[in-house]
Amino acid sequence: MVKPTRVTNSIRTLRFLAGEMTQAELAEKVGVTRQTIIAIEQSKYSPSLEVAFQIAASLGVRLDEAFTYPAIGEKA
């Protein structure tokens, strides 16, 4: 069983707030595949820092608004 990532994200909500941007549109802006956006939204994949910044920028928010990580010692 693959251990899920502790990084959580609000990409789905932020896409909706960004004019109901589709996963394909976000993927095109960021330069990744739609499958990767789906995997990130489902917490099956933690993107690199660079892609995380690009996603946040494409959605018009700060990195910590798009992605969150529990504090040390705190459970996800």
Partner 1 sequence: MASEERSSWVMVVVATTAYVIYLSLVLSGGAALPLAPADYGWQVLWTILGAIVVAVLAEIGLAIVDGVRGDKTGRRDERDRRIHQLGEYTGQAFIVIGALAALILAILEADAFWIANAVYLAFVLSAVLGSITKIALYRGGLPTW
Pick from 23, 26, 47, 59 the residue near partner 1 by CB under 8 A. 47
Reading phi first (left if > 0) and then psi (alpha if -120 to 50, else beta), residue 19 is in left
Applying CB under 8 A, which of residues 18, 51, 57, 61 lies at the interface with partner 1? 51
Q: Contact with partner 1 (CB under 8 A): which of 18, 25, 41, 45? A: 45
- Site for partner 1 contains 57 (CB under 8 A): no
Could you give the C-alpha distances from 6 to 28, 35, 46, 72, 74, in angstroms and in order? 26, 20, 9, 11, 11
Binding site for partner 1 (CB under 8 A): 2-6, 31-33, 35-36, 39, 42-48, 51
